[in-house]
A and B are shown apart, each in its own frame.
Chain A
Amino acid sequence: MSGPDFGALGEEAELVEVEPEAKQEILENKDVVVQHVHFDGLGRTKDDIIMYEICDVFKAKNLIDVMKKSHEAREKLLRLGIFRQVEVLIDTCQGDDALPNGLDVTFEVTELRRLTGSYNTMVGNNEGSMVLGLKFPNLFGRAEKVTFQFSYGTKETSYGLSFFKPQPGNFERNFSVNLYKVTGQFPWSSLRETDRGVSTEFNFPIWKTNHTLKWEGVWRELGCLARTASFSVREESGHSLKSSLSHAMVIDSRNSSILPRRGALLKINQELAGYTGGDVSFLKEDFEFQLNKQLLWDSVFSASLWGGMLVPIGDKPSSIADRFYLGGPTSVRGFSMYSIGPQSEGDYLGGEAYWAGGLHLYTPLPFRPGRGGFGDLFRTHFFLNAGNLCNLNYGDGPRAHLQKLAEYIRWSYGAGIVLRLGNIARLELNYCFPMGVQSGDRICDGVQFGAGIRFL
């Protein structure tokens, strides 16, 4: 290492140059030891869960490493959901036992309050409702969380209470217990459903996949939404009890869940009902697959495939509340909401097997207005969707099943604009051309608007 050639300035210049380089050497290459990690601001949080998240900081060998590991620890502490703010301070060690290369890392945290609440009003679908939410974060000091939501509307009332507990040191492994009452109105089937249930689920990661094991017990009450409901829907009215075990596996390598640019998603879900009690007995499988690839000029190509099958076990036929539905702005576009497949007098009954696929090309808006700001939330979108929904005769072989799913395919194509809402939802406005329409399907050709979190 040689100094710069200042020539005329001579000794003074050399002195100035050497110092910063020498300091750099100390910072980058010299070994450091993290001697103490301090925490300021802990109240009800217990020590042991904090220890797990920050133990890596002690292993850092040089300053850059300390900064990196501290940053990672800060991210881990924030994801526990118990702190409002976490700030990191790195300083040299003071005090009697200080080593010359010793460092002190201090985390200054602000815990969330014991109780946070929210109150909103919602209006939609000829109904107004008041929603009250309460959250108790970090209830017993180890990142447990209790949430309560209550919605009181002009037509229906629903509530949910949930208790969540992660494993200390392994936040991705957690379990939760939920208690809920949910009511739904489904005008496409002239059906009203009220579910009161309790469920408990375990989440755990295995390598790159995330698994969920869940038991759910639901008391379901079905009723007709209108006096003109078809008799097939009327026959399903009444009470039933469903007790089911389910397992879900998710592998998600996308960079975002709304409008991803690259990566793939695979979700496989299975549910077995009837072996732990209840009136309904079935085996249900469904999967969701999505692949995204970035192309030239900031455009993204996306392909997705959904499918599912419901096999009733025993003599009783499947219930309308368990079957699959297809169609709508979030599913096969160009058709009305859930208005594809078996129907009776205008009420859609759902089907026991389905598949649906989509090919999309997302491009920035033409002429890129509002680039770098608001315009980036919008994308233009060209799509091709296809799918089929039917009931299978389980006595026939797989060849007959594939044949049945392949006849009467509904498909559609079109273009539109997509707006991204935060990281959770998206809005779409499309112009659709539905094709392969069968008698009984209801279409929405022309302009169709859709809002949701899960799109085909």
Chain B
Amino acid sequence: MALAAEAFMTQLAAAEPWPENAALYQQLKDEQILLSDNASSLAVQAFLQMCNLPVRVVCRANAEYMSPSGKVPFIHVGNQVVSELGPIVQFVKAKGHSLSDGLDEVQKAEMKAYMELVNNMLLTAELYLQWCDDVTVEEVLEDVDQCCQALSQRLGTQPYFFNKQCKGLTFQYRRLVPKIRPTELDALVFGHLFTILTTQLTSDELSEKVKNYSNLIAFCRRIEQQYFEGHDKDSSSSATSRSAKRSLLR
């Protein structure tokens, strides 16, 4: 029953174009939202920016109760409500926007694997740190280090994780170069790493681990500049405006 309903919803979704008044709901920024929820929300915002889909961020104290799955963030598009990055990617794909279309099967599988890695390691680390400040923090940090190492190696010196060239040229470094688009993995990694780097916690160990990898820091800064600095006055970037006060280069 659930599968049939989902298929039906996907059909409905495909029918309508992306509206102007799409909204993304999360908890209140300064006093309520938790580290892991902030990371998830930022990942979805980055993803939608990368797809060039306008969305405004609305902060509500009861956002997690409003969400159909209980998790934030969720988007309200037309008549539909979709929560969490995975289903949102599917929903956006049904509307005809996709970042990972150009990848072949092997790369798609690899992308899924990396996304699972981020979810298992980084997300768990964030959850762990915000709920308990315990002795086995060493294990958690070890995991984070391994995850960052894997990501750093995969990224190498490229701008994004999967650099499939797509149609069109873009102006970069005073030259016309083939356009390279990011994928949802980039959005997810950005969301988590950016949150870890810019949120003040009781101990700096987590962000120190990430800072060991300079290409990851450069990656975050690049995505921030490209997709978030354009709307400085918008509420959507005030999540990142906090970072303006605390620069990534510390």
A223, B64: Cα distance in complex, Å: 11
**Is A71's beta carbon under 8 Å from chain B?**
no
Listed stretches A232-240, A254-262, A410-418; interface member: A232-240
**Is A39's beta carbon under 8 Å from chain B?**
no
Chain B hits for A345, CB < 8 A: 79
**Is B61's beta carbon under 8 Å from chain A?**
yes
Q: List residues of B (72-120) whose CB comes within 8 Å of A's CBs.
A: 76, 79, 81
**Is A84's beta carbon under 8 Å from chain B?**
no
Chain B residue nearest in CB terms to A222: B65
**Is B62's beta carbon under 8 Å from chain A?**
yes
Chain A hits for B81, CB < 8 A: 231, 234
A223, B68: Cα distance in complex, Å: 10
Known pairs A231-B76, A231-B81; A238 contacts B65 (CB<8 A): yes
A345, B76: Cα distance in complex, Å: 15
The size of the chain B interface, using a CB distance under 8 A, is 9
User: B50-71 toward A: CB 8 Å interface, digit per residue (1/0)?
Assistant: 0000000000111001101000
Q: Are A235 and B68 in contact (CB under 8 A)?
A: no
Q: Are A238 and B62 in contact (CB under 8 A)?
A: yes
Chain A hits for B76, CB < 8 A: 231
User: B9-29 toward A: CB 8 Å interface, digit per residue (1/0)?
Assistant: 000000000000000000000
Interface of B is mostly: loop
Chain B hits for A234, CB < 8 A: 66, 81
Chain B residue nearest in CB terms to A345: B79
A229, B62: Cα distance in complex, Å: 16
**Is A227's beta carbon under 8 Å from chain B?**
yes
Chain B hits for A231, CB < 8 A: 76, 79, 81
A223, B61: Cα distance in complex, Å: 15
A239, B76: Cα distance in complex, Å: 21
Q: List residues of A (235-249) whose CB comes within 8 Å of B's CBs.
A: 235, 237-239
Chain B hits for A235, CB < 8 A: 60, 62, 66
Chain B residue nearest in CB terms to A234: B66
B12 to A: closest C-beta gap in Å: 12
A167 to B: closest C-beta gap in Å: 44
Interface of A is mostly: mixed
Chain A hits for B68, CB < 8 A: 224, 227
A239, B60: Cα distance in complex, Å: 12
Chain A hits for B65, CB < 8 A: 222-223, 237-239
Chain A hits for B66, CB < 8 A: 234-235, 237-238
Chain B hits for A223, CB < 8 A: 65
Chain A hits for B62, CB < 8 A: 235, 237-239
A321 to B: closest C-beta gap in Å: 13
Pick from B60, B65, B76 the residue with the most CB of A within 10 Å: B65
B3 to A: closest C-beta gap in Å: 14
Chain A residue nearest in CB terms to B23: A231
A279 to B: closest C-beta gap in Å: 10
B83 to A: closest C-beta gap in Å: 11
A224, B81: Cα distance in complex, Å: 13
A224, B65: Cα distance in complex, Å: 9
A422, B212: Cα distance in complex, Å: 80
User: A379-420 toward B: CB 8 Å interface, digit per residue (1/0)?
Assistant: 000000000000000000000000000000000000000000
A375, B61: Cα distance in complex, Å: 58
B31 to A: closest C-beta gap in Å: 15
Pick from A223, A224, A234, A235 the residue with the most CB of B within 10 Å: A234
B13 to A: closest C-beta gap in Å: 15
A231, B79: Cα distance in complex, Å: 8
A235, B60: Cα distance in complex, Å: 9
Chain A residue nearest in CB terms to B74: A234
Chain B hits for A224, CB < 8 A: 68
A227, B68: Cα distance in complex, Å: 7
B33 to A: closest C-beta gap in Å: 15
Chain A residue nearest in CB terms to B80: A231
A231 to B: closest C-beta gap in Å: 6
A224, B66: Cα distance in complex, Å: 8
A421, B209: Cα distance in complex, Å: 74
Chain B residue nearest in CB terms to A235: B66
Q: List residues of A (433-447) whose CB comes within 8 Å of B's CBs.
A: none
Pick from A222, A231, A239 the residue with the most CB of B within 10 Å: A231
Q: List residues of A (332-357) whose CB comes within 8 Å of B's CBs.
A: 345
Chain A hits for B61, CB < 8 A: 238
A77, B76: Cα distance in complex, Å: 63
User: A219-231 toward B: CB 8 Å interface, digit per residue (1/0)?
Assistant: 0001110010001
A243, B166: Cα distance in complex, Å: 60
A236 to B: closest C-beta gap in Å: 8
A202, B33: Cα distance in complex, Å: 43
A326, B34: Cα distance in complex, Å: 41
11 A-B pairs (CB sep. < 8 Å): A222-B65, A231-B79, A231-B81, A234-B66, A235-B62, A235-B66, A237-B65, A238-B61, A238-B65, A238-B66, A239-B62
Give 15 A-B pairs besides A237-B66, A238-B66 with Cβ atoms closer than 8 angstroms.
A222-B65, A223-B65, A227-B68, A231-B76, A231-B79, A231-B81, A234-B66, A234-B81, A235-B60, A235-B62, A237-B65, A238-B61, A238-B65, A239-B65, A345-B79
* Across the A-B interface, the 6 shortest Cβ-Cβ residue pairs: A238-B62, A238-B65, A237-B65, A237-B66, A234-B66, A227-B68
